[in-house]
Structure 1
Amino acid sequence: MKIKLTLLDTGYCRQLEMFSIRGGRPRSISFHAIAALIEHPVHGLFLFDTGYSPRFFEATRSFPYRLYATITPVVTRPEQSVKAQLEAHGIRADQIGGVLLSHFHADHIGGLRDFPDSRLYCFSSAYAHVRGKRGLQALREGFLPDLMPNDFEERAIFVDRALPVELLERYRPFGEAYDLLGDGSMLLVELGGHAIGQFGMFVRDEEHGDVFLCADAAWSSEAYRRHVLPHPLAQSIMADGPAYRDNLLRLHELFGHWPSLKILPTHCPEVWKMSQGEFAWRS
């Protein structure tokens, strides 16, 4: 079953290119935070992550959270929040049936509180890793607790508590996935490493074919195409370095044997261009 996928640019942070990919230059570049609107022909509207929103600035006013904003300066405007973009196209927040949280870093949950009526889908391992953390302990995980809804646990659906399904050969080296809706249209696979319990999602867009939203399993398309790891300093702050390296290799292998698949890392500059072009709002 085909769905309609729209990529939403929610702003960006600034960081050194050399930090994101080994051999990169010592220059500051923009890392856009891309969320996605998923329009399912039967089950309605979903979001894949929520990117940045002005709530980020509120959540980083006090110490130690303001260190987050200092280390990775964020640029975002109110009209770039997912909620504002949806409203500009006639979609109310209460029409979003579910928000899929690839992981709990602040640049992925910045707009979460804007959707108080939506179901919240995540891996239980991801939530367990950040649950209750505050202060420096939260900051080390890239987690800002003030971005979380107070009723998160009441609305959460832990996807990895279901039984996975076996995937077809074309998905290798990924062997199994969680079939979110039971119709094969939204297949979630484990992509831990960058963050504990991170997942990616395979979908089939009605216009552009097969797509893999791989969150932060790679920071650029160049990284998975050439199988280039980030700078050793960046690897040192990964939640699980070996798992990150394993999953980057899986992306590289997937790209090698399924070249028509569009693999979309959240912060890739090529994906940002897609959010302004082929995957922008369509009538």
Structure 2
Amino acid sequence: MTKLAIYWAIGHSFRLLRDCSVMERTMINYHTVGCCCHPETVVLKGGSLKSITFPALVAYLPEQQLLFDTGYAEHFFTATRRFPEWLYPRVTPVTFDQAPIVEQLTGQTVRTLFISHMHGDHIAGLKDFPEAQFVCSRAAYDFTVGSTCRINKLRHGVLPALLPDDFRERVTFIEDLPVVNLTDDIQPFDRAYEVAPNVFAIDLPGHAIGHYGLYLPDDKVFLIADAVWQFRTIADNRRPAQVTRLLMHDWQAYHRSIDKLQALHRHNPNLLILPSHCQASIDYAKKN
């Protein structure tokens, strides 16, 4: 039994012991760790040529001692010193003037680190958590460590050097977790994997190989990573420019994921659907 399975069992036992008549809202701590910049018109149809900031969201769940992604870290710049990886920060200029997430969480314990997908701005800080158990998609891991050439991995935003040497010994794959049927609150999504009690991984294909969001029903929050870059894509159907097709793993699946998120927003407008790079959405989440 992995450490993650043990933690899950302990947490589940305590949950059963709680008074079921009391629904306590858990607390989510939202952080931003670095950012990049792109013209608005690239990510929003009808947008301006003005460059806008895309912060890298990290979310920490104190009750579960679970971290959602890591944002940027100095390891990103080490991993991109050589060609062809050197192109990554040139195509996507990075600003990293904040403390890494490991410092922002000083005094907090991270037992589980959930990886939404393997892009560098989501996993650059993995090496800063030597005691954490990782959760990620098997497909994402297999591609990251597989035999495909470095240029192809770079095209998919993947930097294998960001993985700790003992990653394989510490990872639990999402596909191996218990499968659960979801309630009406999150329709049209009807199936998920249980990461921890009332913490569910939901497949959001298209943007990257093995791309997952994290649904937190107690908090009425759905962390959707890069399923969209801006919430206005969901609310106003302002989708990214065709040029971004070059960055996507599966363009058609990406748009199907957006379709489902739009249907979810119409069905349950009180659910906070939180993209990882939307400044307005992150600001709202921090205030509420």
- The normalised TM-score by structure 1 is 0.89
- Give the match's secondary structure for 1:96: coil
Code of the aligned partner of 1:26: L
> Is the 8 Å Cα contact of residues 7 and 274 (structure 1) preserved in structure 2?
no
**Residues 1-283 of structure 1 aligned to structure 2 (within 5 Å):** 2-40=25-63, 44-77=64-97, 79-87=98-106, 90-91=107-108, 95-132=109-146, 133=148, 135-181=150-196, 183=197, 185-204=198-217, 209-274=219-284, 277-278=286-287
Corresponding residue for 2:17? none
Unaligned 5+ runs, structure 1: none
Question: d(CA) in 2 for partners of 1:225 and 1:171?
Answer: 16
CA contact (8 A) 2:73 2:124 kept: yes
Structure 1 position 134, deviation (Å): 5.4
For residue 222 of structure 1, report the CA deviation from its aligned partner.
0.4
Amino acid at match of 2:72: Y
User: What are structure 2's unaligned runs of at least 5 residues?
Assistant: 1-23
Query: Shift in Å at residue 157 of structure 1?
Result: 0.1
Give the SS at the match of 1:139: helix
Shift of residue 131, structure 1, vs aligned partner: 1.9
Shift, 1:228, TM fit: 2.4
Q: Distance in 2 between matches of 1:274 and 1:11?
A: 18
Structure 2 residue matching 1:130: 3-state secondary structure:
helix
Q: Equivalent residue of 1:188, what SS? A: strand
TM-score by length of 2: 0.87
Fraction of identical pairs, as percent: 36
Shift of residue 130, structure 1, vs aligned partner: 2.0
Report the Cα offset of residue 137 of structure 1: 2.1
Note the aligned Cα RMSD (angstroms).
1.6
Name segments (4+ residues, structure 1) moved above 6 Å: none
Distance 1:227 1:236 in 2: 20
Q: Using a 3 Å threshold, how does the CA distance of structure 1 residues 96 and 120 change in structure 2: closer, same or farther? A: same
Q: Distance in 2 between matches of 1:236 and 1:64?
A: 17
Separation of aligned partners in 2, 1:115 and 1:13 = 23
Cα distance in 2 for partners of 1:7, 1:248 equals 23
Could you tell me how far apart the structure 1 residues matched to 2:202 and 2:246 are?
24
TM-superposition CA deviations, 1:172-215 (whole Å, max 9, x none): 1101111112x3x201110010001111111145xxx4000000
**Deviations 1:255-275 (Å, cap 9, x if unpaired)?**
111011000000002133246
Give the counterpart letter for 1:96 in structure 2. V
Count of residues in correspondence between the two structures: 264
Residues 220-275 of structure 1, C-alpha deviations (whole Å, 9 max, x = no match): 11001122221001023210111100000111110111011000000002133246
**How far did 1:128 drift?**
1.7
Contact 1:9 1:80 in 2 (8 A): no
Q: Give the secondary structure class of the aligned counterpart of 1:201.
A: strand
